[in-house]
């Protein structure tokens, strides 16, 4: 879906240098508009991208940017674009960093980057700014992404490069009477979109502390769940196309499963994560829809992918995940891996039934016209089509290399020690 642009294209050449700022509407980026102008002499274009993070209406955010001093404000409804072009490739790759994190923040950065670069070209900006610190992954994701799409564009980070700390931001906002609340201080750093929610800092930085109830928003407490919720997810070539028989877009599928799985407390993740910049960080995530979709997609692949293809894809999916986590969405290797993953999804179509309850999504049924599961080969009952007499010769050939190597080890005194303990009599 093409993003909605609410500010007309500038038709005059800018008299000053222009900086495109990734704008959230919050304190730091609102202050950054004037802060950048004062320290660089450039005009600021604010760019806000809706990837399903909720909160304020985009028109309110756009007007706030103008009220804070932006000369232009570009806002985009990129929810469908994000779901279709970023979340779905992650789903088809079964992307879980460190086998746990479904790339909540990492996936949103390249779509935001694309809109930042588009705005820079449109408004004649020579620099793009973001609100990241110098300790996190996002500074890498933004800047590598930006320079991959626009090698001639310069990147700055007000917090990292222009000394815009939070206390300075509050003082600046009060002094200039900016239309942004400065008194409430959330102890957590939160990033969210339709694929999930990421929470860090505050008391969570002590890795012995358990998350408290106020940490969570997308999920209810799984200790006291409602009645079990049975859901059937239908896929076509690795992408969800229906839920309980009702057609859905990728965005609608994620939103519906966020609601239903979130009510069951599914998708809470608490890990110590290896950041790209070399430090370990405690991260808490909520991703109910993402985790249910990945669980269902994995099971459908178990039914439809050939064994060797499936084994190889697990390694490819892991490497794909690491590249995206590391901010390499636009890299040549990631594009090559995309081609392989796309090919594996040719027959990943069918239905998966799950029961959502008490923090768990349990697969209870699978069906697919492209299934490689053959009942007549799998059954142990009458009608078994598997010729068991062929197994003896298969085992002899399959184990031949190990048998020859073992005989050599015995010959040269390197056989496996079996121990000297007596075997207990039954």
pLDDT tens sequence across 214-259: 999 999 999 999 999 999 999 999 999 999 999 999 999 999 999 9
Domain 190-305+348-367 in CATH 3.40.50.300 = no
Those residues whose C-beta lies under 8 Å from the C-beta of residue 185, and which sit 6 or more positions away, are none
Catalytic (active site) residue 109: yes
Taken in order 322, 326, 330, 331, the sign of the CA dihedral is negative
Residue 285 annotated in ligand binding? yes
Residue 422 annotated in ligand binding? no
Catalytic (active site) residue 28: yes
Residue 373 annotated in ligand binding? no
Read off the pLDDT band of 212 (50, 70, 90): very high
Domain layout of the chain by residue ranges: 18-185, 190-305+348-367
Residue 28 annotated in ligand binding? yes
Q: What is the pLDDT of residue 416?
A: 84
Those residues whose C-beta lies under 8 Å from the C-beta of residue 177, and which sit 6 or more positions away, are none
Residue 79 annotated in ligand binding? no
Q: Please say if the pLDDT value at position 312 is more than 50.
A: yes
Read off the pLDDT band of 186 (50, 70, 90): low
Q: What is the pLDDT of residue 14?
A: 47
Q: What is the pLDDT of residue 117?
A: 97
Residue 189 annotated in ligand binding? yes
Residue 141 annotated in ligand binding? yes
Q: Please say if the pLDDT value at position 102 is more than 90.
A: yes
Residue 361 annotated in ligand binding? no
pLDDT tens sequence across 22-52: 998 888 899 999 999 999 999 999 999 999 9
Catalytic residue among 18, 62, 92, 109: 109
Burial of 240 (0-12, 13-18, 19+ CB in 10 A): buried
Q: What mean pLDDT is reported for the chain?
A: 91
184-193 burial code (b ≥16 CB/10 A, e <16):
eeeeeeebbb
Q: What is the pLDDT of residue 331?
A: 97
Residue 10 annotated in ligand binding? no
Catalytic (active site) residue 189: yes
Catalytic residue among 28, 50, 77, 326: 28
Those residues whose C-beta lies under 8 Å from the C-beta of residue 366, and which sit 6 or more positions away, are 299, 300, 302, 303, 350, 351, 352, 353, 373
Provide the CATH number for the domain formed by 18-185 in this structure: 3.40.50.620
Read off the pLDDT band of 7 (50, 70, 90): very low
Same fold, 18-185 and 190-305+348-367: no
Residue 26 annotated in ligand binding? yes
Q: Where are the beta strands (DSSP E) in 97-202?
A: 127-129, 154-156, 189-193, 196-200
Residues 102 and 90: beta-carbon distance below 8 Å: yes
Catalytic (active site) residue 374: no
N- to C-terminal Cα separation, the chain: 70
Q: What is the pLDDT of residue 2?
A: 42
Distances (CA, A) of 75 to 23, 59, 261, 298: 9, 8, 30, 36
Q: What is the pLDDT of residue 310?
A: 98
Share of residues in the chain with pLDDT > 90 (%): 75
Catalytic residue among 57, 121, 166, 189: 189
Rg (CA), the chain: 26
Catalytic residue among 50, 77, 138, 326: 138
């Amino acid at each position: 879906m093409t993003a909605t642009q609410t500010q007309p294209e500038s038709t005059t050449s800018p008299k000053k240098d222009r900086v495109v700022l990734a704008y959230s509407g919050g304190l730091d980026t609102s202050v950054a508009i004037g802060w950048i102008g004062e320290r660089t002499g450039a005009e600021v274009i604010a760019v806000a991208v809706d990837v399903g993070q909720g909160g304020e209406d985009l028109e309110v955010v756009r007007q706030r940017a103008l009220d804070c001093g932006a000369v232009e404000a570009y806002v985009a409804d990129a929810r469908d674009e994000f779901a279709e072009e970023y979340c779905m490739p992650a789903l088809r790759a079964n992307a879980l960093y460190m086998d746990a994190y479904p790339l909540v923040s990492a996936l949103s950065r390249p779509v935001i980057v694309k809109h930042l670069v588009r705005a820079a070209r449109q408004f004649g900006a020579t620099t793009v700014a973001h609100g990241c610190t110098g300790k996190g992954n996002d500074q890498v994701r933004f800047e590598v992404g930006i320079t991959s799409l626009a090698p001639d564009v310069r990147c700055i980070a007000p917090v990292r490069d222009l000394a815009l700390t939070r206390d300075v931001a509050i003082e600046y906002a009060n002094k200039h009477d900016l239309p942004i609340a400065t008194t409430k201080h959330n102890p957590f750093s939160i990033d969210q979109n339709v694929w999930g929610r990421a929470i860090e800092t505050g008391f969570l930085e002590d890795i012995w502390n358990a998350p408290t109830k106020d940490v969570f928003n997308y999920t209810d407490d799984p200790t006291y769940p409602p009645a079990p919720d049975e859901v059937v997810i239908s896929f076509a070539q690795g992408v969800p196309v229906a839920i309980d028989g009702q057609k859905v877009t990728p965005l609608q599928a994620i939103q519906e499963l966020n609601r239903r799985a979130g009510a069951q407390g599914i998708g809470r993740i608490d890990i110590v994560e290896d950041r790209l910049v070399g430090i370990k960080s405690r991260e808490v995530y909520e991703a109910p829809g993402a985790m249910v979709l990945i669980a269902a997609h994995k099971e459908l692949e178990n039914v439809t992918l050939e064994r060797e293809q499936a084994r190889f894809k697990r390694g490819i999916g892991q490497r794909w995940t690491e590249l995206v986590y590391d901010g390499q969405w636009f890299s040549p290797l990631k594009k090559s891996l995309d081609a392989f993953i796309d090919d594996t999804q040719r027959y990943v179509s069918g239905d998966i039934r799950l029961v959502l309850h008490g923090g768990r999504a349990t697969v209870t049924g699978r069906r697919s016209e492209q299934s490689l599961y053959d009942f007549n080969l799998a059954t142990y009952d009458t009608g078994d089509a598997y010729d068991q007499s062929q197994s003896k010769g298969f085992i002899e050939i399959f184990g031949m290399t190990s048998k020859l190597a073992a005989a050599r080890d015995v010959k040269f005194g390197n056989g496996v020690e079996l121990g000297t303990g007596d075997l207990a009599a039954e």
